[in-house]
Chain A
Amino acid sequence: MATETTSAVSSCVDSHGSAIGMPQLCFEWFPNQIFWLVLTLIVIFLVLSRIALPRIASVLAERQGTISNDIAAAETLKAKALQAEEAYNKALVDARAEAQNIVAGAKADMQAELDVAIAKADAEISAKAAESEKAIAEIRSGAMKSVEDVAKDTAAEIVSAMGGNATAKDVGAAVAARLKG
């Protein structure tokens, strides 16, 4: 447009290099501005639409996916932990019940053994007692007989000492009569 002027001075710039009016309204520059603007916009558009925006979109999607995967994994792990806790509690209850069973079993066994021992002891004791009673009865009967013998002997001696003369048969009868009371 301003090709006829050889210096920088144009209709928009004075000889001192200062602007005449508003440089924004200098229509000489418009073709240049429009050309470079369109070129700039095309370059930015191509860079954004071909490289930058798809890349950022994929990164954002990937991050979203990672986050939701992590949340899902965390939930799975939480469920597993709950299951493990339940299993643990169940095992604890089982073990407790078993222990009680064992204790009860042991107690019953011991009781049975004890009962057997007690019965055995009782039997022994009663056998011993019967034996003793028998011995006592023997001793007692032996003693009664001895008393009769001693009484007969003593009575015979006393009679002879007194100058009597009694037969053994008479003394025996007399003692027996007395003993009968």
Chain B
Amino acid sequence: MASADKAAEGSSLVFHPMDQFIVQPVFSEGAIHWYTITNMTLWMSLAVICVVGLMVVGTSRRAIIPNRSQSIAELAYVFVYKMIEDVTGKDGLVYFPYIMTLFLFILFANFLGLIPMSFTPTAHFGVTIVLAFAVFFTVTILGFIKNGFGFLGLFWVASAPMALRPVLAIIELISYFVRPVSHSIRLAGNVMAGHAVIKVFAGFAAIAVISPLSVAAITAMYGLEILVSFIQAYVFTILTCVYLKDALHPSH
């Protein structure tokens, strides 16, 4: 954001691809306390406004024959609803609002982050780790509540030969605890990488000879990022459904 001004005082070719991820206070200078309103707060609240706009204002007509915004809202509803039904089963539909919240938040945070000069909350591990651990703890606690110690059967592969079972149990246990890490880093890493690459290409645009190529590359990356924005929201959601299925039906 401020890199353009800073580039003038340094050499002609200065890259600050990570500056777009800096969290800054909006109304004040100085330190960032836990309550400080930052640029991240701003873009998260924009995501909330978008969710409200699409899902509440867009559906306010309650029409039998939907208009455009209501169609999109219904499409999102049915998309996530079917996903839970297919992956988790009918008993997973109780958690539909939670999963819908995750999906819509990630989707809108990703897409709003594609606006030039914007800020992308989902590119931050601080955000995605909270999301992933929320899913992890919910699913784990739910698994024990629903199945008692039978939930541990998830790690005990009954279909494998007896000799292999302890080894598999260790592998399963490790993979289970790696889940929140991969779950969060996948999302933040994808979003961050795309944004950083676009910024690097933008840095190259300062050289007149390369700039057409650079602009073309930014355009191509932008198209890819649109795809990634949706796919990562989808992947995060469907993995949540898969983990939820493990909690509700721990047998392999």
Interface residues on B, range: 35 or more
Measured in the bound complex, the distance between the Cα atoms of B96 and A60 in whole Å is: 16
A53 at the binding interface (Cβ < 8 Å): yes
B228 at the binding interface (Cβ < 8 Å): no
With beta carbons under 8 angstroms apart, the residue of B3, B18, B131 that contacts A23 is B18
Question: CB-nearest residue of chain A relative to B5?
Answer: A17
A88 at the binding interface (Cβ < 8 Å): no
Whether the pair B35, A19 counts as a contact (CB closer than 8 A) is no
B209 at the binding interface (Cβ < 8 Å): no
Whether the pair B22, A19 counts as a contact (CB closer than 8 A) is yes
Known A-B contacts A35-B35, A41-B101; the reply to A56 vs B22 at CB < 8 A is: no
Whether the pair B59, A24 counts as a contact (CB closer than 8 A) is no
Whether the pair A31, B34 counts as a contact (CB closer than 8 A) is yes
Measured in the bound complex, the distance between the Cα atoms of B18 and A37 in whole Å is: 21
What's the nearest-Cβ distance from chain A to residue B69, in Å? 12
- Report A116-160 residues with CB < 8 Å from chain B CB: none
Question: CB-nearest residue of chain B relative to A19?
Answer: B18
Whether the pair A52, B73 counts as a contact (CB closer than 8 A) is yes
Whether the pair A37, B21 counts as a contact (CB closer than 8 A) is no
Residues of chain A within 8 A (CB-CB) of B2 are 17-18
Whether the pair A44, B22 counts as a contact (CB closer than 8 A) is no
State how many residues of chain A have any CB contact under 8 Å with chain B. Answer: 51
Measured in the bound complex, the distance between the Cα atoms of B29 and A6 in whole Å is: 8
Known interface pairs A29-B38, A48-B55; 16 further A-B residue pairs with C-beta atoms within 8 A, sorted by A's residue number? A17-B22, A18-B16, A24-B188, A29-B32, A29-B124, A30-B126, A40-B105, A44-B101, A48-B97, A52-B59, A58-B62, A59-B62, A59-B70, A59-B74, A60-B74, A63-B64
Residues of chain B within 8 A (CB-CB) of A58 are 62
With beta carbons under 8 angstroms apart, the residue of B33, B77, B127 that contacts A60 is B77
B30 at the binding interface (Cβ < 8 Å): yes
- Report B169-197 residues with CB < 8 Å from chain A CB: 188, 192
Q: Binding site of B, secondary structure by majority: helix, strand, loop or mixed?
A: helix
Whether the pair B32, A32 counts as a contact (CB closer than 8 A) is yes
Question: CB-nearest residue of chain B relative to A3?
Answer: B31
Known A-B contacts A44-B51, A55-B59; the reply to A49 vs B97 at CB < 8 A is: yes
Question: CB-nearest residue of chain B relative to A5?
Answer: B31
Whether the pair B6, A53 counts as a contact (CB closer than 8 A) is no
With beta carbons under 8 angstroms apart, the residue of A8, A47, A62, A63 that contacts B52 is A47
Measured in the bound complex, the distance between the Cα atoms of B177 and A164 in whole Å is: 183
Whether the pair B59, A37 counts as a contact (CB closer than 8 A) is no
Residues of chain B within 8 A (CB-CB) of A1 are 31
* Sample of 25 A–B contacts (CB below 8 Å): A1-B31, A2-B32, A6-B30, A8-B25, A8-B30, A12-B22, A18-B2, A18-B19, A19-B16, A19-B22, A22-B21, A24-B21, A28-B32, A29-B32, A32-B23, A33-B130, A34-B126, A37-B130, A37-B131, A41-B105, A41-B134, A47-B52, A56-B59, A59-B70, A60-B74
